[in-house]
Amino acid sequence: MLRVESCASHCRCSQPRQELKRTAVPSVSTSDRTVSCSAPHAGHAGRADATCRSDPSGWGAAAWRRRRRGAPAGLAAPPPGAVLTGVGGRVVVELVLVGWTTVLLGGERPGCAARERLGALVGALRHSSHRRSALLPEGFLGAPPGGWAFLAASAWLRFPLVPTQRIDLATIVKAYDVRGLAPEQLDETAAHALGAAAADVLGVAGRTGQPGGTLVIGHDMRPTSPVLVDAFARGVNDRGGDVLVIGLCSTDGLYFASGHLGAPGAMFTASHNPAAYNGIKMCFAGAKPVGTGTGLDDVRTLAQQYLDSGELPPAAAAGTRSDRAMLAEYAAHLRSLVDLSGSRRLKVVVDAGNGMAGLTAPAVLGAEAGLPELPLDVVPMYFELDGTFPNHEANPLEPANLVDLQKAVVEHGADIGLAFDGDADRVFVVDERGEPVSPSAVTAMVALRELAKTPGATVLHNLICSRAVPEQIAAAGGVPVRTRVGHSFIKAEMARTGAVFGGEHSAHFYFQDFWGADTGMLAAMHVLAALGEQPGALSALVADYDPYTASGEINSTVTDVAGTTAAVRATWEARGGVVDTMDGLTVSSPEGESPMWWFNLRPSNTEPLLRLNAEGADTATMERVRDEVLSQVRGGTA
């Protein structure tokens, strides 16, 4: 059976124009397929994001029967959501489709140009290896004299087609989130199924005799985010859950909403990945992490079942969607955690990288959210929200993406520079000389500020942070706890240990008073406060937190990850190195040996890579250890 859901001519769609290439008319199989219209129209209570729904009344089939009985062709426009249904084999299905078209085109017969155009549409969809939707240009099927056109008139309508190829969610559901090319891997069909599954796993789906809960959704500035949000929200609604859409926000803005409202959440972002990607970060109520082993694998399994079966379990009642802006509340909450009002005046260059910090920085560090002015002169860089990242990738972990900020700090005579990634959950710091500040130094600085508020508390650091971090935490009376690399691990440890703060060398910073979640903006505010409460330059301030020399992360492609790691371990263990296998292989200098050194060798989760991080008490020691390990990893002799 082939089912077409059609809209009246007042449909409007914000999708960009896209021409279809005409192809030979394909045969249409007898298996069930659906072409549905997701274009918004005024028939849905004026909501611009509403979608056409299937109407099982069979109005379209009735119109076809009228034509076959010789009824005049000049029919009024069908109501929004009218459904045309045809049953049987290929010929019947084609006749129903073309018959419906001929009613509106004034009596064209099957086999004419209308049939060819319809065949081209079906062919373009069915023969696409990745695209599961297409746009019909105006007049694609023609228009009756003085009337409206079927499938396209003055509007551009989007018609997703249930794909003939199986969507494999295992290719996009990663250890911590969903991430893939959009729409090639992550499209509306997948987003709808993931939304339905998330409603079940995160506990907002409606149950028999009781209404569903509410799930909060936010998104970044990527062009594909709004349509994916709409599809995900429909999935939640279809399982009886309500949706609160907070619109454009940073990932930590979504965590704020989840914590503040006590609701699970979903953030549509691919973080620092290039523009072609999109993804979903999910959390339980209170911004509790969802990852492998904590619900994400359940979401994937259930969503795959929904995709493969083509059906969702019925809900007692569909959920609702509402919208609420929360940027001002987010900014006020961060201001309540770090008071910058007493700081000396600072000139701050902020590179948003065309990402979400272009929205959040003016609200938090400026007055755009209606909050009082702070003693900060902010120099904006790339604040325009643009998910194509026209200036540089929003990934400050790559040194090339810091170059513009480094130059601007020096040119403006600024006290500090801040660079955020695409979803603004990470921040990198540049000092007044334009030199990058190690995230380990930021971790130590913020840790000591948190320990001043909560003496004796636990502070987390991942295993590739500088050895100076646990040393300074312990010296300040805190309890340092070492963790694996990755936000799901550190968030789990935050909950288990009750830690007040946690930092990673990747510039993720986690705060107990932010529901244990990571927030780049709050970490930036702590650095600004530490700088502003004393008269010295940032370079002098961080020197005490960064006494050792680090290599940075170095990737090497290897054919045998396990064998290479084992060989490196044997070599350095034979020299008396202290071995730790918490996350990959860490080897440290023997107890009492001076100068101190250590290195960590970790495999990539997705590629045949080994990642090396090394540190030494001085540059010569670090370089010696780094070069010996690299020589062995890359096939030389240790």
Catalytic positions are 271
ω into 380 cis (within 30 of 0)? no
Q: How far apart are alpha carbons 199 and 315 in whole angstroms?
A: 11
Q: Which amino acid is at 524?
A: A
DSSP H helical ranges for 498-547: 520-532, 538-543
Find residue 83's DSSP bridge partners: 5
Largest CA distance in the chain: 99
* Burial degree of 169 (CB within 10 A; 0-12, 13-18, 19+): buried
- Decide: 378 and 407 in contact? Cβ < 8 Å: no
Please report, for the chain, how many H helices and E strands are present, in that order: 17, 27
**Structure letter (DSSP) for residue 514:** G
Q: What is the dihedral of CA 266, 219, 350, 531, to 10 degrees?
A: -20
**Three-state SS at 389:** coil
Q: H/E element holding 323?
A: strand 321-323
First and final C-alpha spacing in the chain: 67
- Decide: 580 and 500 in contact? Cβ < 8 Å: no
- CA nearest to 558, candidates 512, 602, 502, 623: 602
Q: Is the dihedral of CA 347, 552, 549, 580 positive or negative?
A: positive
